[in-house]
Amino acid sequence: MRIATFNIWNNQTLWFERLNAICEEIKNIDPEILAIQEVRTYIDNKKGISVAQHIANKTGFPFCIFKEYPDCPDEGLAFLSKFPICTEDVIWHKNTKKSNYCAIRITFKYGDYEFGITNVHLNWRSPIIREEQIRSVHNWIFKENKAKPYEILCGDFNDDPHSSIHQYLTNNLWLDVAQFKEEQNYIKAQPTLDYINNLNIKNESNLKIQARYDWILIKKNNNLNFPPINKVEVFGNIPVTKAKVLPSDHYGVLMEITIDT
């Protein structure tokens, strides 16, 4: 099973060229589940279908869930799925602060197992807000929902693996799959925010920063074993269309796991 997360950058820069590149790259990596952040509500201002539905149509996903932020209705979070979606939910339907409007969640079945997967986009400005957001998301998954045998948490966390939010998650037994493969294979996990090589943002910062802000984590319940993680890799770091543009200011992350069916 292939699961991916991708911040597609809600920015007008080369928008239609990048939208084509986003679709081409998603077709190339061919995930069964795709979590997307910074999803425009409409392709062209307030006209046309949602960007999420456009991508689903172009890339062959029969199921699409898009939820715009109630306090910022021109953007939201989305899931595209090749599996039927059993349930869908958003954290802003719960009794939480507006600053915690950062996550959507779906459940689905694969073989004999039920999965929950949560898509987050955490605050980029404040580590204190990010800490509160990740605690709220964790509690939402495990206290306000019936947690599934396997839970997946992914998205743009706007922080690196040395941060307090990453420590909070690992302390709560979430497995960072890129970090796991790094330790297993002695190959450094690749950055997803790359001010050195990503031409969309290369000239925006005097600092030559490469950071891993986009993560996929998995948590098991009911005494299960972690599924074998076949590979974890970034995508969207090489131009794929004739326009020779990168899809986003972030690279995406793809995880492939083996689940006995």
> 105 falls in which pLDDT band (50, 70, 90)?
very high
* Lookup: tokens for 109: 């079945």
Mean pLDDT of 40-50: 81
Residue type, 242: K
What phi, psi does 246 have (nearest 5°)? -80, 145
Give mean pLDDT, residues 120-126: 96
How many structural domains comprise the chain? 1
Strands 175-176 vs 33-40: parallel, antiparallel or unpaired: unpaired
Is pLDDT at 22 greater than 70 in this prediction?
yes
Say if residue 97 is exposed, middle or buried (CB neighbours under 10 Å; 0-12, 13-18, 19+): exposed
SS3 130: helix
pLDDT value for 94: 87
CA distance linking residue 71 with residue 83, whole number of Å: 30
According to the model, what pLDDT value does residue 95 have?
79
Return the structure tokens found at 117: 């997967």
**CATH number, domain with residue 78:** 3.60.10.10
- 3-state DSSP call for residue 74? strand
Rg of the chain (C-alpha set): 17
pLDDT reading at 231 higher than 90? yes
Q: What is the pLDDT of residue 205?
A: 61
* pLDDT tens-place string over residues 179-206: 999 988 888 899 999 999 998 888 766 6
In the predicted model, is pLDDT for residue 3 greater than 80?
yes
Please give the mean pLDDT across all residues of the chain: 92
Question: Burial, 91: exposed, middle or buried (Cβ in 10 Å; 0-12, 13-18, 19+)?
Answer: buried
Q: Which domain holds residue 138?
A: 2-257
The residue-averaged pLDDT of 92-106 equals: 92
Average pLDDT over residues 245-252: 96
- Judge whether residue 87 has pLDDT over 90: yes
Closest CA to 5 of 214, 178, 232: 214
Average pLDDT (44-63) is 89
Least confident among 10-19, 72-81, 222-231, 234-243: 222-231
| The pLDDT of residue 35 | 98
Mean pLDDT of 1-11: 97
Q: Per-residue pLDDT averaged across 37-59, rounded? A: 89
Specify the pLDDT at position 92: 94
Calculate mean pLDDT across residues 22-36: 97
**Contact status, residue 201 vs residue 210, Cβ threshold 8 Å:** no
- Give the three-state DSSP class for 20: helix
What are 135-148's pLDDT values in tens digits?
999 999 998 777 88
Q: What amino acid is encoded at 191 in this protein?
A: P
